[in-house]
Amino acid sequence: IGKFSGRAGITYVTPWGIAPYVSYSESFVPNLGTDNSGNTFDPSEGRQWEVGVKYQPKEIDALFTLAWFDIVKSNVVSYSYIDGPQATGEVHSRGLELEGKVDLGYGWDFVGSYTYTDATYRGTGNDVLDEEQGITAGNRVAGIPKHMWVLSGSYNSGPVTFGVTGKYTARVPVNVSNDWIADNYFITDVNLSLRGEALSELLERLTLSLNVTNVTDESYLGGIASNAAWIGAPRTAIFSVTADF
C-alpha cells in the first residue's frame, strides 16, 4: 500500500519582525491492528491547513506565535477502555495555538502556551455501524481536551538552575460516545540543579539534581490507548548526582 502526499508552505518576513505564513500538508498512515471482529483497518488519510503569524520584537529577546489550524482525517481508529479499537471514520479538528518565549535577562526565561482544539467525529458513513459503536456526528474525539495551557519559568545562573512548570488540561471525553468524561486537572513540576562549584572547588565536577513531578499529587487520567486507560503518575521525586571526568 502506498500513496503520494504533498506539503507546501510560504512565509513572508517583514522589516518589523512580523512573519505571516500559510502551509498545507497531506498525510497517509496505515492503521495497525484489527477491530473486535478481527478485521483490519483501512489506511488513514488527512489534510491540514495552517495559517499564522510569528513576531520577534527587536527591543527584547522574545518570539510570539499565533496559529490557526484545520485538519480532516479519514478512516481514523480510536481506542477506549470501554469499547476497544474502533474505526470511527472521519475526524475534523480545528483550533488555535498561542505561544510566547521571552528571555527576561539575568538568567530568567519564560515560556507560555495555550491551545484550543475543537475535534469532533463525522462518522464512518455507515449509520448502522455508527449506532453500534455509539458514534454520533458532532461528538468530541476521545482523549483530546478542548483547552490546554502550559506556563514555565526557569532561572539559570551557571552553577544553579531552577524551573517551575504548570500545565492545565480541561475535561476530556474517554470514549467515542462521550458518556464518560474525565475531570480537568492542573499539574505542577519543579526541578533544581546545583553544580558543585557553587559549594566548593573540591566538588566542582559534581552536579546535584532534584526533579519533582506532580508536586500537589493530583489525581488525573494519564492517557488512553490500545484498549486501555490509565491514571497519571502520582507525586514523584528523583534525586541524582552526576560526576564529570
End-to-end CA distance of the chain: 51
Per-residue pLDDT of the chain (245 residues; tens, 9 = 90+): 678 889 999 999 999 999 999 999 999 988 877 777 777 888 889 999 999 999 999 888 999 999 999 999 988 886 655 556 777 788 999 999 999 999 998 899 999 999 999 999 887 666 656 666 666 778 898 889 999 999 999 999 888 999 999 999 999 988 777 888 889 999 999 999 988 765 666 677 788 899 999 999 998 888 776 455 788 899 999 999 988 77
74 in Cβ contact with 47 (< 8 Å): no
Q: How far apart are CA 129 and CA 108, in angstroms?
A: 55
Sequence-distant (≥ 6) Cβ neighbours of residue 235 within 8 angstroms: 212, 213, 214, 215, 216, 217
Q: How far apart are CA 174 and CA 161, in angstroms?
A: 38
Q: What is the pLDDT of residues 148-175, one digit of tens each?
A: 999 999 999 888 999 999 999 999 988 7
Q: How far apart are CA 92 and CA 46, in angstroms?
A: 10
pTM confidence score: 0.83
